[in-house]
């Protein structure tokens, strides 16, 4: 079913158009403009701009229809434009003969998605959404960009209860993957138990569930549990990579950390479900590109930095620190830690718990930056420094960090830790 047919079926309006756009800045002629409304914007105020740029119709909130009745375009009034957008995406994906894989998790979902996309693409035509297009708007947008691919891999994020259920209702995956469970966004969920329940909703509409063995919540009792036994052998290398044997051949896996081994294990297991053999799996993994700020290694002034600051929560920070702790090097290990955001009333407790975890590691020194991370600083008994001013922090780093140190930067996206070394 084409988008034009969906609009005709849903609204009785026969409109021949090329695409649905929610942004007048990028809208193309012969499109339908769908006006979304958020906390800081209202697309209903830009209908005339859409018309001037060639929109053939506009889907808007019903109360705005009379306001734009002077425009010579079709106006479709609805109660909720976001719900309408999602319903259109649902109808569109249902009309496609495509295998659907949904991925969610507190951390690891983007890496797992990119690994799966790269491996599956060695044999199939694969669509995958971009990492930041995984929410209530981004998933419908992504779905409406699917053409005639064989497989769609859609990453799904959650910021509040029922987000995953809604996205699953729209996409109805055949396979639902949960990469991890942690305290991210816990201020909106109240407990990690509720977060686990939220993630498990990815199989609510019949998907085959796949997760890792570390996840033991009852919601996942019917999921296939994947462990590192997927691999015949794993050899840790001194250059922060692994030599891995799946069946008969070794290949080099360049993404350090046990959590990345589990991401790869899921990708390998699912790929084998699709008949991908070892040679093609290796080819796919060797071609994968992970987005920036996820264990991204850079060198500046002969100093090695690892930027793992795309986002942070208690689970992802602990996994990153464990991986950093295991690096074999003659250099002193330094960690720059920023706030973990969106932890609500549990923020003080979780930051303090992180301090106790840090004390069990063999990392040489810690530099703390932010407001909430001060609770971690107080508990930490390592060599430590604390700042709540980025300018002062940058000045300190310029004198403290030298080529005899290797540095990990980890913190929530809002802290923008990468700016410290820019």
pLDDT tens, residue by residue, 67-116: 999 999 999 999 999 999 999 999 999 999 999 999 999 999 999 999 99
Distances (CA, A) of 354 to 139, 143, 296, 394: 33, 38, 23, 24
Q: Beta strand 126-128 with 74-78: parallel, antiparallel or unpaired?
A: unpaired
pLDDT < 50 stretches in the chain: none
Instruction: Give the model's pLDDT for residue 403.
Output: 94
Beta strands in 88-174, from DSSP E residues, in sequence order = 99-104, 126-128, 151-155
Can you say how many angstroms the Cα of residue 278 is from the centroid of all Cα atoms in its chain?
27
> Is residue 107 within 8 Å of residue 195, measured between CB atoms?
no
230 Cβ contact partners less than 8 Å away, ≥ 6 residues apart: 246, 265, 268, 269
pLDDT mean across residues, the chain: 95
Contact between residue 178 and residue 223 where contact means Cβ atoms under 8 Å apart: yes
pLDDT in tens, 10-32: 999 899 898 999 999 999 999 99
What domains does the chain contain, in order, with CATH numbers?
3-81 (3.40.1390.10), 96-287 (3.40.1190.10), 296-421 (3.90.190.20)
What is the pLDDT at residue 119?
Answer: 98
Number of Cβ within 10 Å of residue 301's Cβ equals 10
Query: How many Å apart are CA 29 and CA 406, to the nearest integer?
Result: 52
pLDDT, position 43: 96
- Supply the pLDDT for residue 291: 84
Specify the pLDDT at position 131.
74
Is the distance from CB of 152 to CB of 308 less than 8 angstroms? no
Structural Rg of the chain based on CA atoms: 24
């Amino acid at each position: 079913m084409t988008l034009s047919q969906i609009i005709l079926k849903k609204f009785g309006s026969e409109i021949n158009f090329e695409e649905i756009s929610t942004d007048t800045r990028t809208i193309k002629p012969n499109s339908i403009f769908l006006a979304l409304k958020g906390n800081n914007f209202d697309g209903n105020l830009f209908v005339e701009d859409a018309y001037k740029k060639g929109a053939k119709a506009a889907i808007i909130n019903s109360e705005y229809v009379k306001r734009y009745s002077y425009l010579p375009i079709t106006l479709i009034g609805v109660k909720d434009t976001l719900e309408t957008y999602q319903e259109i995406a649902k109808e569109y994906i249902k009309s496609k003969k495509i295998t659907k894989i949904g991925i969610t998790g507190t951390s690891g979902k983007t890496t797992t998605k990119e690994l799966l996309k790269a491996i599956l693409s060695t044999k199939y035509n694969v669509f995958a959404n971009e990492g930041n297009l995984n929410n209530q708007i981004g998933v419908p947008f992504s779905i409406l960009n699917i053409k005639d691919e064989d497989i769609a891999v859609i990453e799904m994020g959650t910021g509040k209860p029922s987000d995953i259920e809604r996205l699953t209702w729209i996409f109805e995956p055949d396979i639902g993957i949960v990469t991890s469970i942690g305290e991210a966004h816990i201020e909106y969920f109240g407990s990690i138990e509720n977060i686990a329940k939220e993630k498990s909703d990815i199989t609510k509409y019949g998907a085959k569930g796949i997760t890792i063995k570390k996840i033991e919540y009852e919601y996942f009792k019917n999921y296939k549990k994947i462990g590192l036994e997927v691999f015949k052998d794993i050899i840790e290398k001194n250059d922060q990579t692994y030599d891995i044997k799946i069946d008969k051949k070794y290949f080099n896996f360049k993404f350090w950390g046990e959590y990345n081994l589990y991401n790869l294990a899921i990708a390998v297991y699912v790929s084998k479900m699709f008949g991908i053999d070892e040679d093609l799996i290796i080819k796919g993994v060797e071609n994968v590109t992970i987005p920036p700020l996820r264990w991204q290694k850079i060198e500046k002034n002969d100093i090695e930095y690892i930027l793992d600051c795309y986002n942070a929560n208690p689970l992802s920070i602990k996994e990153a620190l464990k991986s950093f702790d295991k690096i074999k090097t003659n250099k002193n290990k330094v960690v720059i830690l920023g706030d973990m955001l969106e932890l609500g009333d549990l923020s003080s407790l979780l930051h303090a718990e992180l301090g106790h975890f840090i004390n069990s590691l063999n990392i040489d020194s810690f530099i703390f930056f932010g407001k909430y991370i001060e609770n971690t600083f107080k508990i930490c008994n390592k060599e430590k420094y604390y700042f709540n001013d980025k300018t002062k922090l940058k000045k300190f780093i310029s004198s403290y960090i030298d080529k005899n140190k290797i540095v990990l930067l980890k913190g929530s996206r809002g802290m923008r830790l990468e700016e410290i070394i820019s």
